[in-house]
Amino acid sequence: MVKVCIEKSLSKANKTLNFSKLFTASLFLIASFFLASCYQKEQLPEGDPDNGGLFIPGGFEAVVVADSVGPARHLAVSKNGDIYVKLTKGALHSGNVALRDVNNDGKADSISYFGDYQEKRGYGPTAMRIYNDYLYFSTRGAIYRNKLTPGKLVPESRIELVLTDDYKIEHIAKPLAFDDNGHMYVGFGSISNVCQVVNREPGSLGQDPCAELAEHAGVWRFDANKTNQTKQDGIRYATGIRSIIAMDWNHKVNDLFALQHGRDDLNRTWPSLYTAWQNAMLPSEEFFKVEEGMDGGWPYYYYDQIQNKKLLSPEYGGDGKKEGNGAVYAQPLIGFPGHWAPNDLLFYTGNQFPERYKNGAFIAFHGSAGRTPYPQSGYFICFVPFSNGAPSGPWEIFADGFAGKDTIVSSNEAVHRPMGLAMGPDGSLYISDDVKGKIWRVMFKGDRKNFGMPQLAEMEKRKSGISIKTPDEVGDNLATGMAAGGEKIYNTYCISCHQANGKGDGARFPPLDGSEWVNGDKEKLINVVLEGLSGPITVKGQSFTGVMPAHDFMSDAEIAKVLTYIRLSFTSNSIPVLESEVAKSRRKLNISIREKN
């Protein structure tokens, strides 16, 4: 095989240089270049016949390295190709896993779990990076490092505590990035959605000034080589960035880049100002160049990628049109559609992929969970070409197919959700999934010189899929089907008390029309139907003492339909209730479906 490779390389070199024997040295140099390229391809393992279920551009292949290592967050690949993955193992247990491909067939032959940490619930454990031969990884309340042991899969060194944080829920992931001057950058997320007086309370105003900006919603810079640090040992590098999980240092231009998770619940908290469609599309997930002293504008402003403007948040007097002082804050390089959840960022510096990918940005979009009543969106790997430290063309779909189907109503229907990105020593791209713990390795086997629009055109077509395209405000509204039959159920069980117009009787039975109970927390509303409710209660400033019996005899689907009908009717304009949400509440309350009396 190597002999054939050498012959092909010499042949290509002869075609490249048709000079006299004086240039023999040059001939061998060029032959060596072709030999290295050929040898690299020969060393790459075979891709899976179905590319591990992924759709990728022509010339690329993908192999599943491991199928079920546990809910995988970020990952890193060492100089010898060993893979290290940060895990979230259920409610109380989190740790790391190391993988090694011993026989170079692309599959992990050796898998070892190490580094256990007791944590609270949630998806806080995120970061896994390699810097100066140390493995750095974060939990909700700390950042640790292990010195890698040459030749050993699992580090034999003592775990060192780099940073501790007296964290506060809500956005507690701690992404990491390292520059070329010994600095470590850490993202500290906000402790609220938008710094409201009452977090996520419909109609609640924002605090001004927002006190949490002093310790949260920004990036801090630390000494990467110092242990036992606290936040006071670092400096606040940037502020006004709600929540970062995707962050990377671009060594080509020597700058930090990150993507923000935009705020949520425009429609739920301000239904009179924002439609369900605006709630699904906005606010933008902002791709920032993060320079020292930068202010992204959170919580006072958000970016609207449809209008291409930074707008005043409704909690601070905005109405979806007011710009206020939005232009003075940092503007995004790209404003991606809302709720796509950018969870990792990687600037590609390898030589395996075609030249157009060199120094460009790969982004793992974890996929939305808050776009109801429109299909959930995202769940793919994006690529942004870069030149001179800025995007040089429109973003592209690089890998798709993770979700398993196109129309995703609820995020728990997605088979896989891309989470982490890493580059191997040979230039392969590794991708992690935090649903089932699958790890992919993407390789290029095609003709680097002739790679271009024909291969990219096939991927461009995938932008027309329902899970990626901008949804049609009317045609793609799933609530039409979700609420089907809801009016009939309402007329059967609800109309006698709450009336046909939803305004109640003004005495014993409260109105549903414009009610904070209807437009507020969905779980609370579901529980009212399952458990019943007795007064006194206050609705729209008026006290009511009537009794509502439990309607637990209705199926989960029936409850979802009638509540969706109520939340979309009268003067309400709230997102639908899903059957899965009713089922979840029923399980928590331990209520079975009983026979109707």
Q: How far apart are CA 282 and CA 302, in angstroms?
A: 9
Question: Does residue 584 belong to any structural domain of this protein?
Answer: yes
The SS3 call for residue 206 is strand
Q: Which residue type occupies 364?
A: A
pLDDT for res 19: 41
Quick check: is 597 in a domain?
no
3-state helix, strand, coil in the chain (%, to 5): 25, 30, 50
**Res 18 pLDDT > 50:** no
In a domain, 208, yes or no: no
242 and 336 both lie in a single domain: yes
Supply the pLDDT for residue 118. Answer: 53
Q: How confident is the model at residue 2 (pLDDT cuts 50, 70, 90)?
A: very low
Calpha distance 86→433 (Å, rounded):
11
Does 12 have pLDDT greater than 50?
no
pLDDT at 8 over 70: no
pLDDT of residue 191: 94
Q: What sign for the dihedral angle of Cα 41, 45, 46, 47?
A: negative
* Range in 11-25, 357-371, 572-586 the model is least confident about: 11-25
Do 372 and 441 belong together in one domain?
yes
Residue 261 contacts residue 285 (beta carbons within 8 Å): yes
pLDDT tens-digit readout, 135-188:
999 988 899 999 999 999 999 999 999 999 987 878 888 999 999 999 999 999
Q: Is the pLDDT of residue 489 over 90?
A: yes
Helix axes 556-568, 579-589, angle to 10 degrees: 120
Sheet holding 235-239, edge to edge: 176-178, 183-188, 218-223, 235-239, 294-295
Residue 217: which region, alpha, beta or left (left: phi > 0; alpha: psi -120 to 50)? left
> Is 266's pLDDT higher than 70?
yes
pLDDT score for 247: 98
Domain containing 63: what range?
Answer: 51-198+213-464
Is the confidence at residue 53, as pLDDT, over 60?
yes
Give me the percent of the chain exceeding a pLDDT of 90: 69
Instruction: Find the CATH number of the domain harbouring 513.
Output: 1.10.760.10
* 340 or 537, higher pLDDT: 340
Name, of 92-106, 123-137, 397-411, 494-508, the range with top average pLDDT: 397-411
Q: Is residue 595 part of a domain?
A: no
Give the pLDDT of residue 69: 92
Last residue of a domain, one of 464, 494, 523: 464
Residue 353 has pLDDT above 70, yes or no: yes
Is the model more confident about 158 or about 545?
158
Mean pLDDT across the stretch 318-346?
98
Question: Has residue 11 got a pLDDT over 70?
Answer: no
pLDDT for the residue numbered 513: 87
On whether both 459 and 556 belong to a single domain, the answer is no
Residue 241 has pLDDT above 70, yes or no: yes
Number of domains making up the chain: 3
One domain for residues 122 and 262 = yes
On whether the CB atoms of residues 68 and 87 are closer than 8 A, the answer is no
- On the 0-12 / 13-18 / 19+ scale of CB atoms within 10 A, 92 is exposed
Pairwise CA distance, residues 266 & 278, whole Å: 8
Q: Is residue 473 part of a domain?
A: no
Q: Is the pLDDT of residue 63 over 90?
A: yes
pLDDT exceeds 50 at position 10: no
Q: Is there a cis peptide before residue 283, judged by omega within 30 degrees of 0?
A: yes
> Average pLDDT of 56-84?
96
- CA-CA distance, 320 to 323, in Å (whole number)? 9
Q: Say how many residues make up the chain.
A: 597
Single pTM value for the model = 0.83
pLDDT of residue 193: 96
* One domain, residues 306 and 364: yes
Band of residue 501 on the pLDDT scale cut at 50, 70, 90 = confident
* pLDDT at residue 39 in the model: 44
| Cα-based distances in Å from 25 to 2, 19, 20, 29, 37 | 21, 11, 11, 6, 19
Is the separation of the CB atoms in 336 and 538 below 8 Å?
Answer: no
- Looking up residue 382, the CATH number of its domain turns out to be 2.120.10.30
* Of residues 552 and 569, more confidently modeled: 552
pLDDT at 117: 57
pLDDT at 40 over 60: no
Q: Is residue 452 part of a domain?
A: yes
On whether both 405 and 449 belong to a single domain, the answer is yes
In this predicted structure, the answer to whether residue 22 has a pLDDT above a threshold of 90 is no
Q: Is 580 domain-assigned?
A: yes
144 and 238 share a domain?
yes
Residue range 143-153, pLDDT digits in tens = 999 999 999 99
Dist CA 294 CA 329 (whole Å): 8
Mean pLDDT of the chain: 89
Percent of the chain exceeding pLDDT 70 equals: 89
Considering the domain architecture, whether residues 24 and 69 belong to the same structural domain is answered as: no
Within this chain, do residues 221 and 365 fall inside the same structural domain, yes or no?
A: yes
Is a pLDDT exceeding 90 seen at residue 45? yes
- Residue 527's φ and ψ, nearest 5 degrees, are -65, -30
Of 431, 464, 497, which marks where a domain is finished? 464
pLDDT digits (tens, 9 = 90+) for 72-124: 999 999 999 999 999 885 534 458 999 999 999 999 999 999 886 555 444 45
Whether 60 and 39 map to the same domain: the answer is no
Is the pLDDT at 485 greater than 90? The verdict is no
For residues 354-385, one letter each, b for 16 or more C-beta atoms within 10 angstroms of the residue's C-beta and e for the rest, the string is bebbbbbbbbbbbbbbbbbbbbbbbbbbbbbb
Q: Are 312 and 337 in contact (CB under 8 A)?
A: no
DSSP-derived 3-state class of residue 266: helix
13-17, 94-98, 461-465, range with the lowest pLDDT: 13-17
Torsion of CA 337, 338, 340, 345, to 10 degrees: 70
Residue 502 located in a structural domain: yes
Mean pLDDT across 276-301: 97
State the pLDDT confidence band at 534, using cuts at 50, 70 and 90: confident
Does residue 306 share a domain with residue 454? yes
Same domain, 37 and 76: no
